[in-house]
């Protein structure tokens, strides 16, 4: 069965960077895009970007351009999301989510359990 298992909670100081991992199993890792979505406390879902695990190609939301880097290691079926120059409003739960392509659209069919990143001085 498809599983996405994320790394544990992190506490960071403002200005630091955080790198969250997402280990995939139960399917061919390189066959599906991987997205990253975050959710600030009490707020809605916010798409950050996605990576093509096969090519390494990325597409980031404009809001995060220049601060986010998505990478992958195909040898261990793991995707990574690194966010730099952290601010207090980056405090959120970060999710990885597998892309499920349907003709003319895309959606998220499997999600990781989420990783809480807390930014505090």
Partner 1 sequence: SYVLTQPPSVSVAPGQTARITCGGNNIGSKSVHWYQQKPGQAPVLVVYDDSDRPSGIPERFSGSNSGNTATLTISRVEAGDEADYYCQVWDSSSDHQVFGGGTKLTVL
Question: Residue length, the chain?
Answer: 121
Asked whether position 32 contacts partner 1 by CB under 8 A, the answer is no
Asked whether position 62 contacts partner 1 by CB under 8 A, the answer is yes
Q: Which residues pair with 6 in a beta bridge?
A: 22
Q: Give min distance, CB of 25 to partner 1, in A.
A: 16
Q: In a 10 Å sphere around its CB, with 0-12 CB exposed, 13-18 middle and 19+ buried, how is residue 118 labelled?
A: middle
Q: Out of 46, 52, 91, 118, point to the residue binding partner 1 (CB under 8 A).
A: 46
Distance CA 13, CA 107 (A): 33
For the chain, how big is the Rg over CA atoms in Å? 14
Q: Give min distance, CB of 28 to partner 1, in A.
A: 20
Q: Out of 12, 52, 54, 61, point to the residue binding partner 1 (CB under 8 A).
A: 61
Q: Which of residues 63-102 bind partner 1 (CB under 8 A)?
A: 95, 97, 100, 102
């Amino acid at each position: 069965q498809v599983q996405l298992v994320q790394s544990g909670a992190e506490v960071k100081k403002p200005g630091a960077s955080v790198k969250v991992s997402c280990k995939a199993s139960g399917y061919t890792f390189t066959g599906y895009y991987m997205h990253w979505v975050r959710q600030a406390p009490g707020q809605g879902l916010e798409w950050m970007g996605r990576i093509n695990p096969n090519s390494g190609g990325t597409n980031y939301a404009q809001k995060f351009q220049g601060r986010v880097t998505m990478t992958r290691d195909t040898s261990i079926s793991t995707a990574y999301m690194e966010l730099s120059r952290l601010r207090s409003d980056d405090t959120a739960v970060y999710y990885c989510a597998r892309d499920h392509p349907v003709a003319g659209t895309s959606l998220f069919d499997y999600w990781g359990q989420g990783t809480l990143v807390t930014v505090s001085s």
